[in-house]
Amino acid sequence: MDKTILIRNALAIVTCDAEDHVYGHGDLLVRGPQIVKIGQNIEEPSDEVIDATDCFVYPGLINTHHHFFQTFVRNLRTIDYPNMTVPDWIDQIYRIFQVIDDEVIYYSSLTAMADLVKHGCTCAFDHQYCYTKATGKRPVDRQMEAAKLLGIRYHAGRGTDTLPRDKGGSIPERMLETTDEFLEDCDRLAKFYHDPRPFSMSQIVMAPCQPINCYQETFSETVDFARKRGLRMHTHLGEGENEIMVERYGKRTLDWCRDIGFVGEDVWLAHAWELTEEEYAYLGRAGMAISHCPTPAVLGGFPILPLQKLQELNVCVSLGCDGSATNDGSSLLDAMRLAWMMQAFHSKERHGCITPYEMLKIATVNGARTLGRSDLGSLEAGKAADLFLIDAGTLDLAGTLHDPRNLLPRAGVTGYTKLTMVNGRVVWKDGALTGVDERALAREGEAVCTRVLREPCPAFHHLNG
């Protein structure tokens, strides 16, 4: 029999549903993986009661772009992204990436997932394109192990790079695959892990890394394979590569994607800050989505997406942390705050700014839409019990409690949640991950980072000098 949990007496439950309901002094009843009732004074038997006095309840945040493996290259002043050209950054960072093994994949994924969960993320997509001679084909399998251990809902993007440097690519040979290798592993992963049913905890996405580092056939065959298997597709696009694509193919990247069919409602793009208004309008008509990653845009000095204009063009924009090589943290609460602040920064020249609450819905409702998950994104009866609680009874939030919808980005609520629940299971509560020895995992992860990366890689040497 499914376990029943009653979340009782929340100061407010912010649903993010179509009517933007907020239930003051509300209760929320969970049975098994799903929400069965939201209201006031719910009087039904339950196996567990969670006292939500002085707490705000929100839908779980959904991360739509990341690179978990990069979590072990954080805090490196030798890889100084803001002060490097992109080619220099690629040259330096890939010297580290190419020695990564599957133990680094596992522990770096645990690190990123824990950070996400602690900050209210309940469903995460990761763009995993790090396949080295040492990892073999195991990265997604190791990530699935990590996701199961921590209890996060996980969509794995099986990425690849196939174009060698002598053909114009920028990726070391040690990290390249053939298109056939990529497709064969996508087939294996889809059979093992892709669960399209409601409340599924794992899905597979086909995600060739970027057009400039893959053969065209890698993308065209991805389209054929993904649509036969019912898999979504993802890539980096519109992040400075258009000039190269015009030189190579005589067309901009989005036109190239249109010509081979890598467009449609089952496709979303990371970044896309280099697109024209006409290209954005096409995305809206095609039903495509963009994962907006504000932190790497700020650190790299790149343009900030015009979110209000994209709303007008019917482009679905969701939120991503991006990899730790260009964002040293995995907090979507922090990304949500920064994303809204950067919209405010441009508000005068762009004649307006989205509201903080709209930013919350970008991180929840639009995240679910981006991943094709109608069972996620809002707190409603019949949807998955993915949610988090914020303790609103603390002194730092005094004077803000009149508007829980807009609170998080506006007031800069970026710390740990009080509780995070995924699929009806509490995975983080009162400062502790459920069912794991966090400090032991951290020690093991540090040891792996030192053995595989810090000791052999010059980028880690002399950092205390």
Structural domain includes residue 439: no
The reply to whether 410 and 307 lie within a common domain is no
Quick check: is 173 in a domain?
Answer: yes
Closest to 306 measured CA to CA, from 332, 272, 334, 336: 272
For residues 308 and 282, state if they share a domain.
yes
Same domain, 277 and 394: no
Assess whether 38 and 177 both reside in one domain: no
Residue 462 lies in a domain: no
Q: Domain for residue 456, yes or no?
A: no
Convert 96-147 into a string of H (helix), E (strand) and C (coil): HHCCCCHHHHHHHHHHHHHHHHHCCEEEEEEEECCCCCCCCCCHHHHHHHHH
State the total domains in the chain: 2
Residue 172 sits in a domain whose CATH number is 3.20.20.140
Is residue 448 a part of any domain in this protein? no
CATH for 409: 2.30.40.10
Same domain, yes or no: 297 and 394: no
The answer to whether position 273 is within a domain reads yes
Residues 205 and 239 reside in one and the same domain: yes
> Which uninterrupted H or E stretch holds 365?
helix 365-371
Q: 240 and 385: one domain?
A: no
Specify whether 137 is located in the same domain as 232. yes
Q: Please state, in angstroms and as integers, the Cα–Cα distance from residue 26 to each residue in 6, 56, 265, 376, 429, following that order.
A: 11, 10, 36, 20, 20
Out of 322, 347, 371, pick the residue that ends a domain: 371
pTM beyond 0.85: the answer is yes
- CA 444, CA 64: separation in Å to the nearest integer? 28
Q: Are residues 292 and 389 in the same domain?
A: no
Range of the domain at 311: 61-371
356 and 398 part of one domain: no
Q: Which DSSP string do the residues of 187-240 spell out, in sequence order?
A: HHHHHHH---STT-SEEEEEEES-GGGS-HHHHHHHHHHHHHHT-EEEEEESSS
Classify residue 270: in a domain, yes or no: yes
Q: How far apart are CA 73 and CA 76, in angstroms?
A: 7
pLDDT in tens, the chain (465 residues): 899 999 999 999 999 999 999 999 999 999 999 999 999 999 999 999 999 999 999 999 999 999 999 999 999 988 888 898 877 888 899 999 999 999 999 999 999 999 999 999 999 999 999 999 999 999 999 999 999 999 999 999 999 999 999 999 999 999 999 999 999 999 999 999 999 999 999 999 999 999 999 999 999 999 999 999 999 999 999 999 999 999 999 999 999 999 999 999 999 999 999 999 999 999 999 999 999 999 999 999 999 999 999 999 999 999 999 998 888 999 999 999 999 999 999 999 999 999 999 999 999 999 999 999 999 999 999 999 999 999 999 999 999 999 999 999 999 999 999 999 999 999 999 999 999 999 999 999 999 999 999 999 999 997 665
State which amino acid sits at residue 448.
V
Q: Looking at the domain assignment, is residue 457 inside a domain?
A: no
| Enclosing H/E stretch for 442 | helix 438-449
Q: Does residue 79 sit in the same domain as residue 140?
A: yes
207 lies in the same domain as 336: yes
In this structure, the dihedral spanned by the alpha carbons of residues 42, 48, 54 and 58, taken in order and rounded to 10 degrees, is -80
Distance CA 65, CA 68 (A): 10
